[in-house]
Amino acid sequence: MMEPKNKLFDFSRTQPRAEPVILQGGVDGSPAKQGAQAEFTDTIAFRSPVVPVNEVRLSAERILLAGAHNAVSSAYKMLRTQVLRRMDQLGANTLAILSPTEGAGKTLTAINLAIAIAAETERTALLVDFDLRNPNVHHRFGFSPAMGVEQCLQSRHSAQDAMIKISGYERLTLLPAQSNVENSSELLSSQHAGQLVEELRNRYANRIVIFDLPPVLQADDALAFSRHVQCGLLVVNEGNTQRDDVTRSLQLLRELKIVGTVLNGAREKVQSYY
């Protein structure tokens, strides 16, 4: 049985912590083949509608502000660097953000990791809301999409028709879901979903595609979709994630390369160099 090597659940610490910490993970495998005709970047070749955002709302949702320099942004930059290093070793550019159960901070981690990746001058990030049971990315940013990714899966609309740019985040693109879907696991395991992922990952050479998925143990969506993605990042919360749930999730996802585990809500005090 697979079990995290790190002691994720040491509740002896007393200082609250909101920043993510990447704790463990291994990499192996051969590089993935990229599309021969891939363009370099989507920041010039393709323009999506731009949605204005309210910085007060973003701060209330704990979303990183563009160009922010603080302890939280530093933590996500550290997470970004470790994740990208392991993805580069794998030759991967698609990443599933996973959690055993709800309440671990999965969606927030997906959003802020995508923002941190997009802050790199040589990368762009595409965040896809594949939590079709409880889509929440657009709520966090405070807008209502005219079209959702579920419509791309159901009616074969072009994914570009549903893509959104967020004002101030030049190299970040969102592919939001509009509403919950009853047959979500069937959609995510379908051949068309696999084709959509291949198009997204091969379209631009510098793009990292991040998928926010439902909790592993509360629906079969994540397991059904895992065959379409190259690697995963597991998000847990010190306050409400159980060790047995982590072990069970890793067992179910044993065929997916897990690049690491993020611990949210840790009680360890943050140490700052500056």
- Please report, for the chain, the start and end positions of each structural domain, with discontinuous segments joined by +: 21-264
Task: List the Cα angle 45/107/81 in 5-degree steps.
Answer: 65
The percentage of residues in the chain with a pLDDT greater than 90, rounded to a whole number, is: 72
The pLDDT, as a whole number, for residue 210 is 98
Report d(CA 267, CA 55) in Å as an integer: 27
The pLDDT, as a whole number, for residue 23 is 59
Q: 152-186: per-residue pLDDT in tens?
A: 998 878 899 999 999 999 999 999 999 999 899 99
Task: Select the more confidently predicted residue: 33 or 73.
Answer: 73
Q: Is the pLDDT of residue 34 over 70?
A: no
The pLDDT, as a whole number, for residue 68 is 87
Say what the pTM is.
Answer: 0.84
173-186: b (≥16 Cβ within 10 Å) or e: bbbbbbeebeebbe
CATH topology of domain 21-264: Rossmann fold (3.40.50)
The pLDDT, as a whole number, for residue 119 is 95
